Structure 1
Amino acid sequence: MTRQQVARLQGARDISPDTSDIPTPGPRDVVIRVAVCGICGTDLAFYRHGSTPKGAVLGHEFSGRVVAIGTDVTGVAVGRRVVVNPMHDGMGLGQVPGAFAQYVRLGNAELGRNLFELPDAITDEAGALIEPFAVGLHAVNNAKVTPDDRTVIYGAGTIGLCVLAALRARGVRDILVIDISDRRLEFARRMGATAIHNSSTGSAPAFVGSHFGTESLRYAQEPVGLASVVFDCAGVRPALRDAVHSLAPRGRLVIVADPHDNDLPNLRFVMLRELVVMGALAYESEFPEVIDLIASGKIDLSPIVTHRFPLSRITEAFRIQIDPEEAVKVLVLAD
């Protein structure tokens, strides 16, 4: 067999099955038979706008098995189950072909850098969740969270729920989750949130205040909450505004989602409260810890998987994933 099935993004909201040659490895490459690949928020952004070269193969949250190895690659054996850190070469992000395919080539493969072996305790599906959980863990690591922190998560999508799982892994006891979807909030409750709140039904800062206390300020229209750390996993202006008004003096605001707007609401408030605003971009060295946490059973991300589709039904998979009331995490299974 020399041909494989892939999914190509041809334009805005236009992704469909196609075929391509099965890749072969160069001297420093490995070829991986894809098992499972998740649809990421980044994939959805490309899908909404068609903002990749025509015919791009997306997909970077995946697990699979090594089937071919270049002559210069060491420490990797054919047959080993693996996951990939795609940030080194942008695999599946528009330029380098990704894992919405049956086979994918990883360039400059190096065990422990962009390639990681999966222990038997981690299933293929759990392996495909390692990459998004690394995003959540990196955000928690950036914030230097302690078990005593009073934490809030705005946004209960995949990344927000991964932040929740990471906080619980760190022993944090007080975790509030805020969203506008009752369905997604129910997932947060099942995964251990202390309390949940639909911000379309009432003030989010007031909800935070009901758990962590409030402070009335002459320059704020309503009392502000006293959380010590807030994670913005929503990326929309109303959530950012509420996040700023949920923090105690010198509190930390961690921007995890890619903001839809390029300005932070109420910068004067940030200054007056001496808030610390930080970003959390993807991950750095979190993959080994993530693998250990999942393999040990300390973290179970399976509740966030709501749908599974074969690669041949990629069009339907994206249609479902883009609806936040329909899906949390959609997995695509290589045929």
Structure 2
Amino acid sequence: MVDNNLTLVLHGKGDLRLEEKPVLEPAYGEVQLQMRQVGICGSDVHFWVEGEIGGYHLDSPVALGHEGSAVVSKLGPGVTTLKVGDRVAVEPATPCRMCAFCKGGRYNLCPLVKGLAMPGCDGHLTRTFVMAADFCHKVPDNVSDGEAAMAEPMAVSVQATNRGGVKMGDSILICGAGPIGLLCMLTCKARGVDSVCITDIDDRRLNFARELGADHAINVRGKTPQGIATEVEDLLGDKPNVTLECSGAPPSLTTAVYATRSGGVVVLVGMGATTKELPTAEASFRELDIRGTFRYANCFQPALKLMSSGQVNVKPLMTHQFRLEEALQAFEIAKKGEGIKILISCDKETQARD
């Protein structure tokens, strides 16, 4: 039984506090959740350090965290798809369900979507949480609470590979060997691609990518985009037909354009500067498709199935574990770039058993 609702709240740039919040009751169509494991995303850290991200500016205190697993603790009126005790992965955004985007299946583009851990919408780093039942996905028995928390970034990788049209036999370039880049690599491998080349400026992450199955890994520090493109082509035997740009760094985006095969696809996965320079003539003359990707739509179930089936093993990425009471320390570790995925255990009963 939860006797308090300890919550990690961002009050302003660099001002992160643990404090008590009210325990909310579920309304119609909602469930009350006892949060289990929550991953720290790079966007959480950026929001904390900078006070803004991707055009969102912090104008009032907000609880952070949007990569969560939980157990259903109470049902609101009208909920029939879940029961108390169900383990779930929480899809952290609620669209209006009525607009043309929602009805067309692209609910991630809903203009009225309420995204967790963004201004005005609290996130998962809390003891208890209330969420729309239809955005709580049942977790297979062989998927742990930590792995279920990884369903959110896994869904990002599923959406990105969907947007890129990644298929069996493709050659792939992934720019950035952070958590999303690594998950995109694993998802591409599960789709039967021929080979994957991954780039980064950190040898530790590149070595880790090799251990996870990257066919080629390139440290791009100090290299030109054209030079990197040539190196990628030499390693793969041809230019990749799909590039997933997962770093958000402007030079990496330029590299993606020069490196991708004519008629190929560049997917903008990483969130970096609002405005970026782009070699548009190069992209135009070679008919490259440059596609955005935003969150995910109908990707949580595929992500959970990839983990449950063993096609994607996310366990090696789960490098650090903290209790909710240690959340400030966890964020400091994340800011230093240590490890890959840092998880925070929010449930007191689970902590006591551990």
Following superposition, the deviation at residue 186 of structure 1 comes to 1.7
| One-letter amino acid matched to 1:115 | C
Question: Matched residue of 2:122: which SS?
Answer: coil
Aligned match of 2:271: 258
Q: For the residues of structure 2 that align with 1:306 and 1:130, how far apart are their CA atoms? A: 16
Following superposition, the deviation at residue 264 of structure 1 comes to 4.1
Asked if 1:86 is matched to 2:92, the reply is yes
Asked if 1:96 is matched to 2:109, the reply is no
8 Å CA contact 1:59, 1:93 repeated in 2: no
Aligned-residue sequence identity (percent) comes to 30
Q: For the residues of structure 1 that align with 2:44 and 2:119, how far apart are their CA atoms? A: 9
Alignment of 1:154-233 (within 5 A): 154-200=175-221, 202=223, 203-213=227-237, 226-233=239-246
Following superposition, the deviation at residue 261 of structure 1 comes to 4.5
Aligned match of 1:330: 342
Following superposition, the deviation at residue 270 of structure 1 comes to 0.7
Following superposition, the deviation at residue 44 of structure 1 comes to 1.8
Question: Matched residue of 1:248: which SS?
Answer: coil
Following superposition, the deviation at residue 117 of structure 1 comes to 0.6
Following superposition, the deviation at residue 120 of structure 1 comes to 0.9
8 Å CA contact 1:16, 1:314 repeated in 2: no
Q: 1:190 to 1:201 in 2, by over 3 A?
A: farther
Asked if 1:19 is matched to 2:20, the reply is yes
| One-letter amino acid matched to 1:55 | P
Match for residue 280 of structure 1 among 293, 298, 323: 293
Ranges of 4+ aligned residues in structure 1 off by more than 3 Å? none
CA-to-aligned-CA distance 1:12-36 (integer Å, 9 cap, x gap): 1221211112221123221100000
Alignment of 1:300-319 (within 5 A): 300-319=313-332
Q: For the residues of structure 2 that align with 1:91 and 1:201, how far apart are their CA atoms? A: 37
Question: Matched residue of 2:28: which SS?
Answer: coil
Question: Matched residue of 1:21: which SS?
Answer: coil
Question: Matched residue of 1:209: which SS?
Answer: helix
Aligned match of 1:150: 171
8 Å CA contact 1:82, 1:117 repeated in 2: yes
8 Å CA contact 1:178, 1:204 repeated in 2: no
Question: Matched residue of 2:263: which SS?
Answer: strand
8 Å CA contact 1:309, 1:317 repeated in 2: yes
Following superposition, the deviation at residue 97 of structure 1 comes to 1.8
> RMSD between aligned alpha carbons?
1.5
Q: For the residues of structure 1 that align with 2:93 and 2:45, how far apart are their CA atoms? A: 18
Match for residue 141 of structure 1 among 155, 162, 165: 162
Aligned match of 1:28: 29
**Larger mean Cα displacement after TM superposition, 59-68 or 182-191:** 182-191
Aligned match of 1:120: 141
8 Å CA contact 2:66, 2:117 repeated in 1: yes
Question: Matched residue of 2:19: which SS?
Answer: strand
Aligned match of 1:217: none
Following superposition, the deviation at residue 144 of structure 1 comes to 1.1
8 Å CA contact 1:15, 1:314 repeated in 2: no
Question: Matched residue of 2:321: which SS?
Answer: strand
Following superposition, the deviation at residue 168 of structure 1 comes to 0.7
Q: For the residues of structure 1 that align with 2:193 and 2:240, how far apart are their CA atoms? A: 13
8 Å CA contact 1:58, 1:94 repeated in 2: no
| One-letter amino acid matched to 2:43 | T
Aligned match of 2:76: 70
TM-score (norm 1): 0.91
Q: For the residues of structure 2 that align with 1:147 and 1:230, how far apart are their CA atoms? A: 15
8 Å CA contact 2:81, 2:133 repeated in 1: no
CA-to-aligned-CA distance 1:188-234 (integer Å, 9 cap, x gap): 111110010100164421320212346xxxxxxxxxxx221111001
Following superposition, the deviation at residue 263 of structure 1 comes to 3.2
Q: 1:266 to 1:201 in 2, by over 3 A?
A: closer
| Unmatched runs of 5 consecutive residues or more in structure 2 | 52-56, 95-113, 349-354
Match for residue 129 of structure 1 among 150, 173, 183: 150
| One-letter amino acid matched to 2:214 | A
Question: Matched residue of 1:79: which SS?
Answer: coil
Following superposition, the deviation at residue 160 of structure 1 comes to 0.5
Question: Matched residue of 1:126: which SS?
Answer: helix
8 Å CA contact 2:172, 2:241 repeated in 1: yes
| One-letter amino acid matched to 1:207 | E
Q: For the residues of structure 2 that align with 1:246 and 1:230, how far apart are their CA atoms? A: 8
Kindly tell me the number of residue pairs found equivalent between the two proteins: 319
